Structure 1
Amino acid sequence: MALTTVTHIPLALARVLPPRVSFRFRVLREGEVTAGGKRVLFFRNFAQIGQVCIAFATEDGEFTRYESILQQALNDQGEWLVIGYDDAAPKKIRAVYLTITAAGTYTFNITSGDGGAAGDPGTLDARVRVDKAAVSREVLVVEKPSSGQWRVAGYGSVADGDGVIDVRVTDGDCYAIGLDDWGVAFAPNLPVSEEQVIRPTVFLGWTYRITQAGVLPAVEPDWWDESVIGPQLIGTARAEVSRYYQPIAHGPLPIEGV
């Protein structure tokens, strides 16, 4: 009988490491990059404010090193109490609640929320159409930073339907709001010029664009709607009806840095 030799080969079991998330912070002061050290500290809650769980410090005044944290630890915690501070005079500190779910660079703005012209410069391409036609209108850009306090990031007029709006942004999402021409309210004997927009004192959805310069009447006229075609006489001027469009917002929109 033949003997068979069986060799036992130990199996090397691969160790499966639990997933981790690596992230860091870009730390700003009032929306600006400033020199000097800044710190971002993580706490589980306000009651445990004396126990720092995760700490970040800027190395060049702007970026911190990456920290690698267990994904499960981040999931279990959910919302962290995060405090950022800068000891440069005048000292500033800001506390927010943050949830970290993915790897990357997060912007933390140590701001008093006073607004102003703070932020990184950028531009937004604006395109305005009314009934598919290119028109000149004003565009307002607003930002909702991580502080939750909305701020105006920029505004400007777009000539002939296309233009570029200069903005200053911090760490939030931006939205562009297109504003139709609200015109000026009717006033007795008001001199008006061509292309000026007049708004009735009792607004019903229509404005009136002056097609011939002149002077408005002493008594407000009976305004008409779009069923009346063509310019109509009001005082010594002429005007045609124009629908007023409520402001329309688009976003969040990408901002191109400069």
Structure 2
Amino acid sequence: MQVSHSEDLLIPGYVNPPFITLAFRLLRDGEVAAGKKIVRVYRDWNDISYLALAFETVDGETTRSCRVLLSELLAQGEWLVTGQDGAPPRRTRATYMAFSESGTYTFNITSGEGGGQQGDPGRVAGLVRVERLPANREIVLVERPADGEWRLAGYGPTPSGSGDIDVRVVGGDVYAIGVDDYGVAFVPDLAVQVGQRIRPTQYAGWVYEITEAGRLPAVEPAWWAAQGENPSQPLGSARAIARRYFQPIAHGPVPVEVI
């Protein structure tokens, strides 16, 4: 992974690729705790021998920042992130995270659930159609128990338009929310891959899906709407097609198969 710890050199004729700045705020059981904590970033479990990034707290809560090549973060998509707290009793946690913009990302080294996931295991059948065609969407399921305090029951994708999503429920009504891909905000000279979505800085209802890999232009272009057969158009040295962004839509209550 390409990392920069200092300002890029200015060389005539050379265009510096876009970097973003990452840092972490590390919690334990959802709270700030004293002591050193470490976050390590890997590509996947299959590449656990190759450490991509490492962050260590400087005050028990936050880490120093690191500048990372944005195109590499986006090309990978999700990264395996592990957290470690050596204070007794020692704790560790691993999850997948995606990074698309500069910021300080909060990482809870323990789930805060004190002994396991809450609720009975269940399953919800997800089925998504967009303009009458099957669509892959992220489905988020929330539950309203008898006490009225909303809780997250589960989430998952619908590859090819359908899929079973695992949930944990406590006897309340469950509602499903379908979320479209909002894309990454336009960044000049960003290297992009096929399938990535780019969002104009002044959003007007459309996102742009990359159909040929390349690099975004140095200046934000005049964006276009889908017309006719919606052919791809140049976007810097890449090409893209316009896609309408569909705002989240919810259904419910939905039936849950308790396992």
TM interval, short-chain normalised: 0.5 to 0.7
State the 1:218 CA deviation.
Answer: 1.1
Amino acid in structure 2 at the alignment position of 1:233: P
The residue that corresponds to 1:182 in the other structure is 182
Answering whether residue 196 of structure 2 is matched by residue 192 of structure 1, we say no
CA offset at residue 169 of structure 1? 0.5
Cα deviation, 1:96-146, whole Å, max 9, x if unaligned, reads xxxxxxxxxxxxxxxxxx898311100000011111111211100000111
What percent identity do the matched residue pairs reach? 54
Structure 1 counterpart of 2:213, one-letter code: A
In structure 1, the residue matched to 2:254 is 253
TM norm structure 1: 0.54
SS state at 2:118 partner: coil
Shift of 1:159: 0.7
Residue 207 of structure 2 corresponds to which residue in structure 1?
207
**Separation in 1, partners of 2:147, 2:117:** 16
Secondary structure, aligned partner of 2:252: strand
Look up the equivalent residue of 1:155 and give its one-letter code. Y
**Aligned residue in 1 for 2:245:** 244
Q: Distance in 2 between matches of 1:140 and 1:195?
A: 22
Q: Tell me what 1:138 maps to.
A: 138
Number of residues paired by the alignment? 146
Question: For 1:211 and 1:132, how far apart are their aligned partners in 2?
Answer: 23
Structure 2 match to 1:56: none
TM-score of the superposition, structure 2-length normalised? 0.54
Paired AA for residue 198 in structure 1: I
Secondary structure (helix, strand or coil) at the match of 1:122 reads: strand
Instruction: Give the match's secondary structure for 2:160.
Output: helix
CA drift at 1:212? 0.7
Q: Quick one: which amino acid aligns to residue 137 of structure 1?
A: R
1:178 alignment partner, SS class: strand
Distance 1:187 1:162 in 2: 33
1:167 and 2:167 correspond = yes
Residues 1:119 and 2:137 are matched in the alignment = no
Q: Distance in 2 between matches of 1:130 and 1:196?
A: 19
Residue pairs, 1:83-122, within 5 angstroms: 117-122=117-122
Give, as a single letter, the amino acid of the residue that structure 2 aligns with 1:187: V
Aligned letter for 2:239? Answer: R
In the alignment, the residues of structure 2 paired with residue 183 and residue 165 of structure 1 have an alpha-carbon distance, to the nearest angstrom, of 23
Unaligned runs of 5+ in 2: 1-112
Match of 1:4 in 2: none
AA aligned to 1:185 is A
* Partner-residue secondary structure (3-state), 1:175: strand
1:223 aligns with 2:206: no
Shift of 1:192: 0.8
Question: C-alpha root-mean-square deviation of aligned residues, in Å?
Answer: 1.8
**Structure of higher CA gyration radius:** 1
Structure 2 counterpart of 1:130, one-letter code: V
Spell out, residue by residue over 1:175-213, the C-alpha distance to the aligned partner (whole angstroms, 9 max, x if none): 011111111111111111111111111111111111111
The aligned residue for residue 151 of structure 1 is: 151
